[in-house]
């Protein structure tokens, strides 16, 4: 669940963020805005589950913000912060669905108590759009890259979100059918024939929401197995392909986005998967490989250190020597001296 904190005082915003970061279970993301107008822009982009807003702000105050959210995003839960002098004014938010207030000065126990009421009692009958889109995208990536562990993790998270939303069996079946239709189209665009994904839609509706979820997961697992079998012999491990591409271009400036596109993954998914598989970020992996190659080249007496720097992608010689010493522990000249090369 994403949280949006809206307050025109930077110190208060920062304090609320720290309180929210200390809450468990952790929020998926925490964003901030200085007024109602900024908040609405972020809401359009992300659709947070909870908005925590001050009542007195410039440009658009908390009362107007609550009214707009109530009219256009009724599933978002609202918490209003106000001082004693503003409390009567803040109570006008009752007509906009606000049921939770925090009086200044706000303390961590106050904030966490409100979060307990909201996070542990999700809005009934609703799955946020951003969760839906994010999950479909990540599931597509996990299937395309044949990441079984990630695939199962995503299924578990989606089960939690869907069952937690307390949809009835008919609502859940409609939602999951739409999910599979969209996933089918996205995989089809990649050249993957995943007709098994549509079996769930055609099988009819199971009796309960739990039955519906179980049937949905069985269909997805069947589709994963079929796609995995059909791609054997043609499958290239995306992480091995990415590492090879990076290793062969150490002298060039390549971007994460470029490599992600090469292996057919979104930059966000590729970045997370790369770190999970290699235990290193994309940037740190490239630096490590550049320094490993630099050590090999420095062992060749006929190469100048400036030539070595250029061979591993550093036109800025001081930057190269600083990076080398940070990674290897000694400067390039000291490294050569240890090898007996002057």
Going by C-beta distance under 8 Å and a sequence separation of 6 or more, which residues neighbour residue 224? 143, 148, 151
Average pLDDT over residues 223-227: 82
pLDDT tens profile 49-96:
888 888 778 888 777 888 888 777 777 888 888 775 565 665 666 666
In the chain, where does DSSP find H-type helix?
A: 10-21, 36-46, 62-72, 87-90, 108-119, 129-144, 148-164, 169-189, 199-202, 209-231, 238-247, 256-262, 267-278, 282-298, 305-311, 317-328, 332-338
Q: For residue 191, what are its two tokens?
A: 């050249």
Rounded percentage of the chain residues whose pLDDT exceeds 90 = 18
DSSP state of 95: G
The pLDDT-based confidence of 174 (bands split at 50, 70, 90) is confident
The pLDDT value given to residue 49: 82
The pTM of this model reads: 0.50
The pLDDT value given to residue 184: 83
The pLDDT value given to residue 282: 92
The pLDDT-based confidence of 203 (bands split at 50, 70, 90) is low
Q: What topology does CATH give the domain 238-338?
A: Arc Repressor Mutant, subunit A (1.10.10)
Going by C-beta distance under 8 Å and a sequence separation of 6 or more, which residues neighbour residue 278? 239, 243, 285
The pLDDT-based confidence of 8 (bands split at 50, 70, 90) is confident
DSSP state of 96: G
Nearest to 80 by CA among 61, 60, 59, 54: 54
Q: Domain spanning 2-119: which superfamily?
A: Response regulator (3.40.50.2300)
Q: Give the chain's mean pLDDT.
A: 82
Which residues are 102's β-sheet partners? 81
Average pLDDT over residues 241-266: 89
Q: How far is CA 239 from CA 77, 192, 243, 262, in A?
A: 40, 20, 6, 11
- Annotate 187-207 with three-state secondary structure: HHHCCCCCHHHHHHHHCCCCC
Which residues are 4's β-sheet partners? 31, 51
DSSP state of 237: -
Q: Which residue has the higher pLDDT, 163 or 153?
A: 153
The pLDDT value given to residue 67: 80
Count of beta carbons in the 10 Å neighbourhood of residue 24: 8
């Amino acid at each position: 669940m994403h949280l949006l904190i809206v307050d025109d005082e930077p110190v208060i915003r920062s304090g609320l963020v720290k309180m929210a970061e200390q809450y468990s279970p952790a929020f998926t993301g925490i964003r901030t805005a200085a007024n109602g107008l900024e908040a609405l822009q972020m809401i359009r982009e992300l659709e947070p589950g909870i908005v925590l807003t001050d009542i007195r702000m410039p440009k658009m105050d908390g009362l107007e913000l609550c009214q707009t959210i109530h009219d256009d995003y009724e599933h978002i839960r609202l918490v209003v912060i106000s001082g004693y002098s503003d409390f009567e004014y803040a109570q006008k938010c009752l007509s906009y669905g606000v049921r939770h207030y925090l009086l200044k000065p706000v303390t961590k126990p106050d904030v966490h108590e409100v979060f307990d009421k909201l996070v542990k009692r999700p809005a009934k009958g609703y799955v946020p759009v951003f969760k839906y889109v994010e999950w479909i995208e990540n599931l597509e990536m996990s299937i395309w890259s044949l990441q079984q562990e990630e695939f199962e993790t995503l299924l578990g998270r989606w089960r939690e979100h869907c069952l937690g939303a307390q949809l009835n069996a008919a609502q859940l079946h409609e939602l999951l059918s739409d999910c599979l239709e969209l996933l089918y189209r996205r995989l089809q665009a990649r050249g993957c024939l995943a007709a098994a994904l549509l079996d769930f839609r055609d099988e009819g509706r199971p009796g309960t929401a739990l039955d519906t979820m179980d049937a949905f997961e069985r269909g997805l697992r069947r589709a994963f197995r079929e796609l995995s079998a059909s791609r054997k012999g043609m499958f290239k491990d995306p992480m091995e392909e990415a590492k090879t591409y990076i290793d062969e271009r150490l002298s060039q400036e390549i971007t994460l986005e470029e490599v992600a596109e090469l292996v057919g993954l979104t930059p966000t998914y590729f970045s997370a998967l790369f770190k999970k598989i290699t235990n290193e970020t994309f940037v740190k992996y490239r630096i490590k490989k550049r320094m490993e190659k630099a050590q090999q080249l420095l062992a060749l007496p006929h190469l100048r250190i400036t030539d070595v720097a250029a061979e591993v992608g550093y036109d800025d010689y001081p930057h190269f020597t600083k990076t080398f010493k940070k990674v290897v522990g000694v400067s390039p000249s000291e490294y050569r001296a240890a090898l007996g090369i002057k």
